[in-house]
Structure 1
Amino acid sequence: MATRDVVFPAGRHALYEKHRYSPAVRSDGFLFVSGQVGSREDGSPEPEFEQQVRRAFENLDAVLAAAGASFDDVVDVTFFIVDPASRFERAWQIVPEYWGEAPFPTATVVGVTWLAGFDFEIKVVAKLPARDAD
Structure 2
Amino acid sequence: MSVQLFSPQGMMQPVPYHHVAVASGSRHVHVAGQIGRDEAGRPVGPGGLRGQVAQALRNTARGLAGAGASFSDVVRLTFYVTNWAPERIGDFMAGVDDVAGELGLPQPLPPASLIGVDHLFEPDVEVEVEATAILD
TM-score normalised by structure 2 residue count:
0.66
Q: Distance in 1 between matches of 2:116 and 2:75?
A: 21
4+ residue runs of structure 1 moved beyond 3 angstroms? none
Q: What pairs with 1:5-20 in structure 2 (closer than 5 Å)?
A: none
| Contact residue 82 and residue 113 of structure 1 kept, 8 A | yes
Q: Distance in 2 between matches of 1:56 and 1:101?
A: 18
The reply to whether residue 43 of structure 1 matches residue 41 of structure 2 is yes
Structure 1 residue 63, shift from structure 2 partner? 0.5
Q: Distance in 2 between matches of 1:83 and 1:112?
A: 6
**SS of the residue 1:41 aligns to:** coil
Q: Distance in 1 between matches of 2:120 and 2:107?
A: 29
Q: Paired residue for 1:115?
A: 120
The percent of aligned pairs where both chains have the same amino acid is: 35
Structure 1 residue 44, shift from structure 2 partner? 2.7
CA gap of 1:93–1:48, structure 2 versus 1, over 3 A, is closer
**SS of the residue 2:40 aligns to:** coil
Q: Distance in 1 between matches of 2:120 and 2:47?
A: 15
**SS of the residue 1:84 aligns to:** coil
Q: Distance in 1 between matches of 2:110 and 2:117?
A: 22
Q: Distance in 2 between matches of 1:40 and 1:116?
A: 16
| Contact residue 52 and residue 95 of structure 2 kept, 8 A | no
Q: Distance in 2 between matches of 1:40 and 1:84?
A: 24
Letter in 2 for 1:115: L
Structure 1 residue 74, shift from structure 2 partner? 0.5
The reply to whether residue 32 of structure 1 matches residue 38 of structure 2 is no
Q: Paired residue for 2:106?
A: 100
5+ residue gaps in structure 2? Answer: 1-25
**SS of the residue 1:78 aligns to:** strand
**SS of the residue 1:57 aligns to:** helix
Structure 1 residue 30, shift from structure 2 partner? 0.7
Q: Paired residue for 1:15?
A: none
Q: Distance in 2 between matches of 1:111 and 1:58?
A: 21
Q: Distance in 2 between matches of 1:115 and 1:87?
A: 17
